[in-house]
Structure 1
Amino acid sequence: MYHVNTSANILVIGDLMIDHYVHGDCNRISPEAPIPVVEITHETHTLGGAGNVIKNIKALACNCNIVSVAGNDGEAERVISLLAENGVDGMGLVNDPGRCTTIKSRVLAVNHQLIRMDREVTRPIEADVEDAIMAKLQGMLNDHDIVLISDYNKGLLTTSLLAKVITMCRDVGKRVLVDPKGLDFTKYKGATLIKPNRKEAGLATGINISDRQSLENACRKLKELAECESVIVTLSEDGIAIFTNDQLTVIPTKALGVIDVTGAGDTVLASLGVAIASGLSLTEACEFANLAAAVVVSKVGSATATINEINSRLS
C-alpha cells in the first residue's frame, strides 16, 4: 500500500499550454467544400503540456507550483484561471509580449477528432525573459523539495536557461527530474534523472532499441550525454526501464488494457516526483509510476491517477 507525503512541495518548470476542445454534432457536408459541418454543442479548456504534470501532481494530493512563460494576452489570463482551479497561484508565470500563449484547439464530432489547430510561438525566449524566469526560480526554489522539468520544445527551455536552472538546483541540493525533448540531451547536463520514452531515447542516441542489450546501450549513452545519475526509459506496453549504478532493470507494465496513451509521460514524471519527494527509492518510485501510468492509459484523454486508484492496482 502506497502513501504519499502530502506536505511535499514540487516545482515544475516547463512549457505551459491550453488544450481547447470544441465538441459538436456532424450531420451534413458543407455546400462550400467537401468538408463536414460541425454544429458546436460545447467547448472546454484545460491545462496542457507542463500543466498536465501539475494536474497529475495535484491528483496525488501534493503541493506544487510552476515556473513558465505565457503571452501577454487573454489566453494568459485563462491560464491563470485554470491554474487557480487546480490550486496553483501562478506567481511563477512570466508574460512575454513577444509571443502568444500556446493553445491547441481540437474539433471533435461524436468524439471523433476532425482537426487540430495550434496557435504558438516556438522560437527561443529572449535574454530578458530568461532573466525573469531565473528571478522567479530564485524566489521559489527554497520552498520546494524537488524540481521537475517538462520540456515540450516550445522555446522556454533553451540550453542557456537549462544550464542556469540545473546549476542553481544543484547548488542548493535540489534533485532535478527531466522529461526531455529533441535530439540533443547534452542540454540537460547535470540533471539527477532524465526520462525519455523509447522513441526519444533511440533518436537521441542513434541506437535502434530492439532488445535488452540495445536498450542498455542506449541508456548508457544517454547517461553519458546528460551526465546524469540515472536514466528512466518508458517502454509503453513493455513497462519502464531503470538504468542506475551501471545496471539495467526493467519493470513490466501493469496496464490491464490500453485505451489512450495521451499524457502518460506527464503522469510518469509527476508520479516519479511525488514518490521520490515522499522518500521512496528510485526502484520503488518507478514501480509507483508504472502503476500510475497503467491507470491513466485505461482512460480517455490526458487523464490523472489518484493514490486510491494506484493502490487498487496492487490488488
Structure 2
Amino acid sequence: MLIDKIKSARLAKKRPTILVIGDLMIDHYLHGKANRLSPEAPVPVVNLKSEVFTLGGAGNVVQNLVSLGAEVTASGAIGNDIAGAQVLEILSKEGVSTSSVFTNEDRITTIKTRILVDGHQLARLDKECTDHLSAEAENALMKELYSQIENADLVVLSDYNKGFLSPGLTRSIITVAKRFNKKVIVDPKGNNYAKYSGSFIIKPNRSELAVAAKIENVDSKGSLQVAASIVIEQTDVEYLIVTLSEDGIMIFDNNESTVLPVKATEVYDVTGAGDTVLSTISYFIALGLNVLEACEIANHAAAIVIRQIGSATVTVDEIIIELEKELQNLQQIN
C-alpha cells in the first residue's frame, strides 16, 4: 500500500538531500484599490494597500521541497542588488544552504512585480537579465557544484529560461551527476531540449511539450504520444512526465505511456501546481520510491494545492491524509 511505503521510506531516510539548480527570482506583489481614472492618461489610479515579496522561479521548487521535509541546497545566479539580498534572506530563513548561490556583479536579479486590484492582476512589470554567465563564471560555479552534486541524493534543474542554465552549464551539471550516479530531474523551458540529454526525468507541461516537439498543439492522446516520442528521441531521457493541468499527469517510458487522472474534485487555482508536482516527484524518488509511485503521490499533492488560491506548498502528512480519504471512499464504494 502506498501509505505504508511513504511511512517506511520516511523512517528509513528522514531527510533526503536535494540540490536545486535554476533561476532564482523574486515575486513582488502590490495590492491596492482603484476607484478612479488618472487625469493624465486613461489608466486607473491604484491606491497601494500592501506589498509582498516572495521567492519565485526555482525558489518555489525549493520551498515546496522544504515543506515536504527535504534538506535543500539552492544554486543560481543573482545580482549584487536589493532583490538578490532578498533571495538570500528568504532562503536562509527557510533553512536552505546558499553556498552555491552565485552573486554576479554584471547581473541583475530577476524580479516580477504584479499590480493587483481587488485580487485581479492589472499589470506585470519584469526586471531581468537573460544573458548566460561568462565561461569563467560558469567554470567557477561548477567547481562549487562538483562536491554539492556528489553529496546530494538527487539533482533538480528548474529552468525558467532566464539565461542561467545555458546549454554548456546544463551539460556540465548532468555530466557530473552521471559520474556520481545521481538522478537529474528537469523542469524544462525553451524549444531545444538537447541540453537536457541524459536526464532521468524531464517534466514539461502540455504547452511546453508542444514547443519542444515543434507541434502546433498536443490536445489529443495521439498528438501527446507523437510529441513525447520526438522529445525522448532528442534527449534519451528515461522518463518524460507531462503535466496536463485539470487532465492529470501522463508518464512516458520509451513507447509505454500511463495516464494518472487528476485527483481534485474542486479546482480553484492551478498556480504553482507544476512546481508542486516536480518537487513531490523529486522528494519521493530521493526517498527511494519508483517513478510511478512518486507520480501517483504527486497527483494527490497537486489535488491539495489546486484547491487553494495562489501558489501553495504541501506536507507529507497532508498527502497521507489525502491518500487515507481516497482509501476510505474506495472502501465505502466496495
| Range class of TM-score, shorter chain | over 0.9
Contact 1:94 1:132 in 2 (8 A): no
AA aligned to 1:234 is: T
2:34 aligns with one of 17, 20, 26: 26
2:271 aligns with one of 254, 262, 275: 262
Contact 1:146 1:176 in 2 (8 A): yes
How far off its partner does 1:245 sit?
4.8
Unaligned runs of 5+ in 1: none
TM-score by length of 2: 0.91
Instruction: Find out whether 1:220 has 2:229 as its counterpart.
Output: yes
Larger RCO, structures 1/2 (Cα 8 Å, 6+ apart): 1
Which residue of structure 2 lines up, in the alignment, with residue 162 of structure 1?
A: 170
Contact 2:33 2:46 in 1 (8 A): yes
Partner Cα distance (1:92, 1:255) in 2: 37
Which residue of structure 1 lines up, in the alignment, with residue 239 of structure 2?
A: 230
AA aligned to 1:119 is: K
TM-score by length of 1: 0.96
Which residue of structure 2 lines up, in the alignment, with residue 243 of structure 1?
A: 252
Partner SS for 2:99: coil
Which residue of structure 1 lines up, in the alignment, with residue 148 of structure 2?
A: 140
Instruction: Find out whether 1:279 has 2:288 as its counterpart.
Output: yes
Instruction: Find out whether 1:187 has 2:195 as its counterpart.
Output: yes
AA aligned to 1:144 is: A
Partner Cα distance (2:285, 2:221) in 1: 26
CA RMSD in angstroms comes to 1.3
Partner SS for 1:92: strand
Contact 2:28 2:51 in 1 (8 A): yes
Instruction: Find out whether 1:196 has 2:204 as its counterpart.
Output: yes
Partner SS for 2:112: strand
Unaligned runs of 5+ in 2: 326-334
1:106 aligns with one of 100, 106, 114: 114
Partner Cα distance (1:118, 1:136) in 2: 30
Instruction: Find out whether 1:177 has 2:185 as its counterpart.
Output: yes
Partner SS for 1:76: helix
How is 1:40-51 mapped onto 2 (pairs within 5 angstroms)? 40-51=48-59
Which residue of structure 2 lines up, in the alignment, with residue 79 of structure 1?
A: 87
Partner Cα distance (2:176, 2:45) in 1: 52
Partner SS for 1:232: strand
Contact 1:6 1:63 in 2 (8 A): no
Q: Deviations over 1:236-287 (max 9, x none)?
A: 1111111115311111111222212111111111111101011111100000
Flag the structure with higher helix content.
2
How far off its partner does 1:162 sit?
0.8
Partner SS for 2:61: helix
Instruction: Find out whether 1:117 has 2:122 as its counterpart.
Output: no
Q: Deviations over 1:69-103 (max 9, x none)?
A: 00111221111101012111311110111110010
1:210 aligns with one of 219, 225, 232: 219
AA aligned to 1:279 is: G
2:78 aligns with one of 70, 79, 85: 70
Partner Cα distance (1:256, 1:87) in 2: 34
Partner SS for 1:91: strand
AA aligned to 2:247 is: D
How far off its partner does 1:107 sit?
1.2
Instruction: Find out whether 1:52 has 2:52 as its counterpart.
Output: no
Contact 1:67 1:136 in 2 (8 A): no
Contact 1:68 1:133 in 2 (8 A): no
Contact 2:72 2:97 in 1 (8 A): no
Partner Cα distance (2:246, 2:311) in 1: 18
How far off its partner does 1:42 sit?
1.6
Worse overlay, 226-235 or 242-251: 242-251
Q: Deviations over 1:48-80 (max 9, x none)?
A: 000000010011111111111001112211111
Partner Cα distance (1:19, 1:257) in 2: 26
Worse overlay, 284-293 or 124-133: 124-133
AA aligned to 1:130 is: E
Q: Deviations over 1:174-210 (max 9, x none)?
A: 0000010011111111111111111111221133423
How far off its partner does 1:212 sit?
2.2
Which residue of structure 1 lines up, in the alignment, with residue 46 of structure 2?
A: 38
How far off its partner does 1:142 sit?
2.2
